[in-house]
Structure 1
């Protein structure tokens, strides 16, 4: 039952992300090349380290979807890293836990948090990229 609930949660998140207006942040699966390109372009970046089985990650997701749909984050690029399958990316970013959020402006890391489910503090992190 838990696996099917996680699947449905992920499916809903994909639908929500796919239906965001054009003024919303751009969500991408993490690849080293795409991440480096966004950094080299000086883009504001959010890295979201998630795991489908993680209740904190599931709590963060609707907050992230809502915040990144706001027009002020239209230039933000959001990269999702799967904690269970993308170990090389985790090592490269020194991310040791699921539910890790990291914000960058270009190549400069501005902030990171682990396990934060406060919309107010997550918005504060994202605002640092503006």
Structure 2
């Protein structure tokens, strides 16, 4: 490759890298998440696995709370630990039984391995 072609190619690459794309749409964490965040409702993303005993203990507690009483407006999204690896990467989740809490579209807290009903309720209250 001649020197002039090399320099123009490197210049074009550097220009593209430093300026980047004009607009990039962020990919939604899970389907429906962006709409819930835009509506201003608290959002819970619950990462579970069918073989996880802690997850199975969490599910009825979360189901009883979310959508009822003080948590009537909260939106919950279930993520399967075994099959939704892209979502796990977006959320930087490394283990099942993880609950990630969002308020106004921003993560405010996360909980891993908690199955005590009082602790789960206190955790969810952080988004109210």
Q: TM-score, normalised by structure 1?
A: 0.72
Partner of 2:108: 110
CA distance in 1, matches of 2:39, 2:71: 16
Question: Residues of 2 paired with 1:58 and 1:33: CA distance?
Answer: 23
Partner of 2:127: 129
Q: Residues of 2 paired with 1:93 and 1:36: CA distance? A: 14
> Which of 72, 79, 97 matches 1:99?
97
For 1:51, the equivalent position in structure 2 comes to 49
Unaligned runs of 5+ in 2: 1-27
Separation in 1 of the partners of 2:43 and 2:77? 8
Q: How many residues align?
A: 101
Pair member with larger Rg: 2
Q: Which moved more, 1:65-74 or 1:101-110?
A: 65-74
* Unaligned segments of structure 1, at least 5 residues: 1-29
Where do 4+ consecutive residues of structure 1 move more than 2 Å? 30-33
Q: Secondary structure at the match of 1:90?
A: helix
Question: Residue by residue, what CA displacement relative to the aligned partner does 1:38-78 show, whole Å, maximum 9, x if unpaired?
Answer: 12222200110000010110011111112225321111000
Matches within 5 A, 1:1-130: 32-130=30-128
Cα distance in 2 for residues equivalent to 1:94 and 1:39: 19
Quote the RMSD (CA, aligned, Å): 1.6
2:99 alignment partner, SS class? strand
Please name the residue that 1:25 is paired with. none
